[in-house]
Amino acid sequence: MADVVGCTTVGYLRFPLVRALDGIAAAGLQNVDLAAIPDYCEHISPLADRAETNRLQSELQDRGLRALSISAHTTIASVDGYRHIRACIEYASTIGAGIVNTGTGPIGDDAATFFRHAAELVKVAERLGVVLALETQDWEMTSGAGALALLDKLGSSNVKVNLDAANIVYWGGRKAEEEIDLLAPHVAHVHVKDKRGGRGVYDFPSLGDGEIDYGKIFSSLDAVGFDGPYMIEPELSLAEAERPPAEVEEALRDPGSAYQRHTYLGTSNAEEVDADLARSLATFAALRGASYSPSA
């Protein structure tokens, strides 16, 4: 069976949605993960009215694209975060996207609120037939054992894992290759990007230029019959020497701070994102061989 391959619009965070869709379509892909990440990359709004939704559907159809997922990362324990993810689950159902991705967000001492909100989100996801995919960042999700324990507490087949191997390193300081066998049976969605350096080091090069053994990652996913979607995630940034030193230091202490400030994330040149996507796709195709088909 051919892999289901696409790209997330998050890589084009400094550009309008239509530019992201143009770049993804030009790469020969047909599948999209739409960004609805508050204060970071809001390419779509889950509160869009019918006219806005019709425009989105037209923009996708005109480029031969289909939305398979929505990335809605926020803090589940907060009231605003809960409301946002709930709206994204409902909107995903409206536009035919079967997966909503999110991190747990920081928990602190408020685990009880997290689980109360999560239980309500699970009910909505089950009712609408949408998978809530918790990304491998934040809290328990950066280790296989932690993720399995959290999924077990949530107790629903509609709650799965959005695997981001690079984030396991960035957020948790762990090797993704050592966590994948526990995670693989529970993966519903993959963000594909590479990583250099350890925890808090914001350096995500094109696939194949980093330190993650994607051969091992793909082998473990193949072993459990995972067939996608694999969403390429370009995540460019200024070189470390060009970043505010205080922010570099802060990210080492608190990896999430880079996304809160994001003054050095992304690029002002959309063609750089196009090129990064092309390089990553070429490597992905080489690694996947006969399994790769950009039109699947």
Q: What is the rounded average pLDDT of the residues 186-190?
A: 98
Q: How far apart are CA 149 and CA 145, in angstroms?
A: 6
Query: Average pLDDT over the chain, rounded to whole?
Result: 95
pLDDT at 139: 80
Q: How far apart are CA 133 and CA 267, in angstroms?
A: 27
- The structural domains of the chain, with segments of one domain joined by +, span 5-237+267-290
Give the bridge partners for 102, in sequence order: 134
* The token pair that represents 203 in the structure block: 């350096």
Q: How far apart are CA 164 and CA 211, in angstroms?
A: 14
Confidence grade of residue 115 (pLDDT, cut at 50, 70, 90): very high
pLDDT at 1: 65
Closest listed residue to residue 284, CA positions, set 220, 217, 216, 208: 208
Q: What is the pLDDT of residues 66-86, one digit of tens each?
A: 999 999 999 999 999 999 999
CB atoms within 10 A of CB 62: 11
Q: How far apart are CA 234 and CA 260, in angstroms?
A: 18
Q: Biggest alpha carbon distance in the chain? A: 49
Q: What is the rounded average pLDDT of the residues 125-140?
A: 95
Q: What is the rounded average pLDDT of the residues 291-296?
A: 77
Helices marked H in the chain: 17-26, 50-62, 79-95, 111-128, 144-154, 165-172, 176-183, 214-223, 245-253, 257-261, 270-288
Least confident window among 39-48, 211-220, 222-231, 256-265: 256-265
pLDDT exceeds cutoff 90 at 241: no
DSSP conformation class of 268 = S
Q: Which CATH superfamily is domain 5-237+267-290 in?
A: Divalent-metal-dependent TIM barrel enzymes (3.20.20.150)
pLDDT exceeds cutoff 90 at 166: yes
Positive or negative torsion for Cα 164, 64, 98, 33: positive
Q: How far apart are CA 36 and CA 261, in angstroms?
A: 17
> Cα–Cα distances in Å, from 6 out to 2, 204, 230, 232, 278?
12, 18, 6, 6, 12
Q: What is the rounded average pLDDT of the residues 195-204?
A: 96
Q: What is the pLDDT of residues 243-258, one digit of tens each?
A: 889 999 999 999 988 8
Confidence grade of residue 140 (pLDDT, cut at 50, 70, 90): confident
The total number of residues shown for the chain amounts to 296
pLDDT exceeds cutoff 80 at 294: no
